Amino acid sequence: MAVNAAHAIDIGSAIGTAITGAQKVAEASKDITPSEEHYIGRSIAAMVIDRYPLVQDPALTQYINKVGLLVAYSSDRPETYGGYHFGVVQSSEANAFACPGGFIFVTTALLKEVGSEDQLSAILGHEIAHVAHRDGINAIKKSKWTDLGFYAAGEAAGKFSPNEVKELTGAFTGVISDVGKKVIESGYSISDEKKADSAGVRYASAAGYDPNGIVAFLQTEAEKGIDTNRGPFASHPKTDTRIKELKAEIEKENLSRQVADVRTNRYKAIARR
Amino acid sequence: MRKLLLGMLAMTFFAGSAWAASMNVQVREVDVKGSPNYLSSSVGKLNYGAKVETGDEQDNWVRISQPSGWIPKSSVTKHKVDVNAEAKFSGRSASHDETALAGKGFNPQVEAEYKRQNPGLVAAYSKVDWLESQTIPLPALNAFAAAGKLGR
């Protein structure tokens, strides 16, 4: 999800160089191994937590991880190098962040806006889709490491010489900058968001949740007068379009599931206390 | 005798097709499941770099021979993974294909240097460590799904 509309404008102005840029990005991200994605993700997660304090409430963290893992395990990429980890961060802005490797955060304000576990499941499904599609990693510009060679993969801690570490850390810093801007500031492209919407409802449904929850959430936000094309949804398609496309996807793929009050009740008891 | 030879040939063929490929585990650790479902019980565990023989696929899962069970397809790669290998620089002109699963070398050593250069982030990294320590045992996840009437 995105914080402002800048990225949408960038995408529009970059169309002329899109093919060259896309090729470079694809080449760059191909060089990232799952373990490297994990270490990049840890650093982006640290950047998120540095900006928005992590809520270290074990009960709340366990709850959101249970919902998130059920959805992640039903996704196109159920296994990452270090596994999926879901956290809650303090912020007055309803938002969510998907860091490479599977670190996913939702804000306290978002949990207040969300009305049920089924709604939460589709939102987490959307973020899981960004991880599964490697949208954060695809933000890395090839120029950040064109001059670097390749190293045998693996954790291999303590194996590099001081000079190699210096060179690698320089490249790592550039990568963190690229991915951090995308994850925390500019947000993903409208195309990425549409794909994440579509995949998110599939994942939630496959886990047994009713994905109509995300439609209800967007409708409620719209009725409250909250502009879902601002804040966390800035780079998303327009709300009316999103609702229409999500409804069509749910109907076409027969994704609707039974809603159980017990899920809504436990969400309210734990996430909105 | 001819029938026996044909039978042996057929067995060889089917054995070959059942375990079609050698793959390597590319995640830190993966549970081997008795059936292709995350909520099914584990029959074993494999660590990063483990070699497996893979066979049938079902959705996002692939069957393996040893231990006999299922693992997610995303947990394995056809590329070589040698966790004990010295991290070695392959040269600026090297193709990543020739070094198998090769990356740029971002690892805990690089993260440690990055943290040293960004001391303001050290506290945040410790929170990331805390988050990673919050694991959910499979029985607890199963109980949560059942209590929530999450039919799968």
What total of structural domains would you count in chain B?
A: 2
Of A111, A101, A122, A123, nearest to A52 (Cα)? A111
Give the DSSP H/E element, type plus range, for residue A187.
none
A153, A169, A260 ranked by CB distance to B113: nearest: A169
**Cβ–Cβ of A85/B132 closer than 8 Å?**
yes
Higher-confidence residue: B99 or B7?
B7
Instruction: Identify whether the C-beta of residue B109 lies closer than 8 Å to the C-beta of residue A158.
Output: yes
Mean pLDDT, rounded, of chain A = 82
Distance between B34 CA and the closest CA of chain A, angstroms: 16
Domain assignment present for residue A229? The answer is yes
Chain B residue whose CA is closest to A82: B28
Q: Is the pLDDT of residue B46 over 70?
A: yes
**Cβ–Cβ of A168/B106 closer than 8 Å?**
yes
Q: Which residues of chain A neighbour B117 with C-beta distances below 8 Å?
A: 169, 173
The 3-state DSSP composition of chain A as helix, strand, coil percent (nearest 5) reads 60, 5, 30
Residues B74 and B109 in one domain: no
Domain assignment present for residue A1? The answer is no
Q: Is the pLDDT of residue A106 over 50?
A: yes
Give the DSSP H/E element, type plus range, for residue B58.
strand B51-58
Half-sphere exposure of A34 (CA within 13 A, CB side): 25
The 3-state DSSP composition of chain B as helix, strand, coil percent (nearest 5) reads 35, 25, 40
**Cβ–Cβ of B110/A150 closer than 8 Å?**
no
Q: Is the pLDDT of residue B65 over 60?
A: yes
Q: Is the pLDDT of residue A142 over 70?
A: no
What total of structural domains would you count in chain A?
A: 1
Q: Which domain holds residue A215?
A: 6-145+155-271
Q: Which domain holds residue B72?
A: 20-83+97-103
Q: Quick one: pLDDT at residue A3?
A: 31
A43, A147, A154 ranked by CB distance to B92: nearest: A147
Domain assignment present for residue A226? The answer is yes
DSSP string, A66-81: HHHHHHHTTSS----S
Interface residue of A60, A70, A163 to substitute, partner B, most B CBs within 10 Å: A70
**At A194, is the pLDDT very low, low, confident or very high (cuts 50, 70, 90)?**
very high
Q: What is the mean pLDDT of residues B125-129?
A: 97
DSSP string, B107-144: SHHHHHHHHHH-GGGHHHHHHHHHHHH----HHHHHHH
- Provide the β-strand partners of residue B152: none
pLDDT tens digits for range A217-255: 988 887 776 655 444 455 566 788 889 999 999 999 999
Task: Note the ipTM here.
Answer: 0.84
Interface residue of B75, B77, B127 to substitute, partner A, most A CBs within 10 Å: B127
Q: What is the dihedral of CA B137, B142, B147, B151, to 10 degrees?
A: 150
For chains A and B, what is the number of CB pairs under 8 angstroms?
Answer: 235
pLDDT tens digits for range A40-71: 999 999 999 999 999 999 999 999 999 999 99
B28, B117, B125 ranked by CB distance to A169: nearest: B117
Q: How many residues does chain A have?
A: 273
Interface residue of B114, B130, B133 to substitute, partner A, most A CBs within 10 Å: B114
Higher-confidence residue: A138 or B143?
B143
CB < 8 Å from A in window 5-34 of B:
26-28, 30
Q: Which residues of chain B neighbour A152 with C-beta distances below 8 Å?
A: 82, 85-88, 90, 99-100, 102
Direct distance between the N- and C-terminal alpha carbons of chain A, in angstroms, rounded to an integer: 25
Distance between A21 CA and the closest CA of chain B, angstroms: 20
Domain assignment present for residue B55? The answer is yes
Tell me, yes or no, if B57 comes closer than 8 A to chain A by beta carbon.
no
Chain B residue whose CA is closest to A156: B87
**At A75, is the pLDDT very low, low, confident or very high (cuts 50, 70, 90)?**
very high
Residues B79 and B110 in one domain: no
Residues B74 and B26 in one domain: yes
Residue type, A212: N
CB < 8 Å from A in window 99-118 of B:
99-111, 113-114, 117
pTM of the model as a whole: 0.82
Tell me, yes or no, if B42 comes closer than 8 A to chain A by beta carbon.
no
Domain assignment present for residue B11? The answer is no
Residues B26 and B79 in one domain: yes
**Cβ–Cβ of A151/B152 closer than 8 Å?**
no
Q: Which residues of chain B neighbour A164 with C-beta distances below 8 Å?
A: 89, 105
**At A146, is the pLDDT very low, low, confident or very high (cuts 50, 70, 90)?**
low
**At A144, is the pLDDT very low, low, confident or very high (cuts 50, 70, 90)?**
low
